[in-house]
Amino acid sequence: MIADQMQNDNSILVKVRGLRFARGKRMIFDGVDLDIPRGKITAIMGPSGTGKTTMLRLIGGQLRPQQGSVHVDGEQVDKLRHGDLYQLRKRMGMLFQNGALLTDMNVFDNVAFPLREHTHLSEDMIRDLVLIKLHAVGLRGARELMPSELSGGMARRVALARAIALDPMMMMYDEPFTGQDPISMGVLVRLIRKLNDALGLTSIIVSHDIAETSSIADYIYLLSNGKVVGQGTTEELNGSSSEWAQQFLKGLPDGPVPFHYQAEDYLDDLLAGASNKQGEVA
C-alpha cells in the first residue's frame, strides 16, 4: 500500500533525491533517495554513526546537502530564504533525544513556551491548549513540576507535548526510546502511534531500537555506509533476502557489517610482533 502511495507525489510530504553529504573525508550519504508519505510513520534505522540524526537536520534545514535535494511539502529546503525556512520549521515538531526541556521553567511553561513565542493567543487560550497537550500525554496533573522532578520517561512525554503545541504537520523523533525503562518505552510507543493517527501527523522516527520502532512504523528505511540498503514494511524486511537487513534486524554479531575492524591477518600480526622482539634481543 505504501509503495503504491509513493507513486503519487501529492501523497509524499518529504522527498529526498540524490542526497550526498560528507563531514570532511567521511561520506555520510552517497546518493540517498527517500520518500516520506503523508499521514504515516516512517522509520529510518541503522547502526550508530550511519547519519540518522544528520538526516533529520537536513530535512529541517539545519544542514544543507552538498549534492541532491530535500523537499518538504513541495518546497526545496536548502533553497529557502531564512524567513521562509523559519515559517516551514514552525510546521515541524521535533522530539530531541535528551528532551531539551528548559530547566528553569516548570512543565506548564515549557509547553506554553512555543505558543507564547509564535502566536498572539491570550493567556486563557494558551492555558487551555497547554492542558489539552499535557492531557494527551497523560501529564496534566504534573504541570507545576520542574524538569528536575520528572523521571526520564515523564520528561520525554513533556517534551512531546511541547513539540505538538503548535499542531505541526510533521513530527521528527530523534532516538525517542533511548534510555527508557520498559514501561516508559511502551508508553512512548503507544503515544507516537496514537498522536500520529489522532492528529493526522506525518512522523519520522530515527532509531536503532528495532522491536519498538518496527511495531509502529508503516514503512522502514535501513541505512548503512551512506546508502539505503533495505526498505519496506516490517513484514517485507523480515522476509528479505538481504544479508544486511537480516543481520541488523536480528542483531547478528557478524555479517556485511563485520565484528572486527579492518586489519591485517591476525597470525601475521602476532608473528610480526614476535619477529620485532627477536630483532631487539639480537
Across the strands, what pairs with 71? 15, 76
**Boundaries of every domain in the chain:** 2-91+169-184+197-281, 103-167
| pLDDT at 20 exceeding the cut of 70 | yes
Over residues 56-71, the pLDDT tens digits come to 999 999 999 999 999 9
> What would the pLDDT profile of 177-228 be if each residue is shown by its tens digit?
887 878 888 888 999 999 999 989 999 999 878 888 889 999 999 988 888 9
Question: H or E segment at 199?
Answer: helix 182-199
Rounded to two decimals, what is the model's pTM?
0.82
Q: Is 251 left (phi over 0), alpha (psi -120 to 50) or beta?
A: left
Residues 6+ away with beta carbon under 8 Å from 38: 11, 12, 13, 202
At 268 the pLDDT is 76
Q: Is the pLDDT of residue 254 over 70?
A: no
pLDDT band at 282 (very low <50, low <70, confident <90, very high): low
Which position has the higher pLDDT, 26 or 1?
Answer: 26
| Residues 50 and 32 sit within 8 Å (Cβ to Cβ) | no
pLDDT digits (tens, 9 = 90+) for 126-141: 999 999 999 999 999 9
- Grid coordinates standing for 75? 518546497
Q: Which of 82, 80, 109, 110 is nearest to 96 (CA)?
A: 110
CATH of region 2-91+169-184+197-281, choose from 1.20.120.160, 3.40.50.970, 3.40.50.300, 2.70.70.10: 3.40.50.300
Average pLDDT over residues 260-268: 69
> Is 196 within 8 Å of 171 (Cβ atoms)?
yes
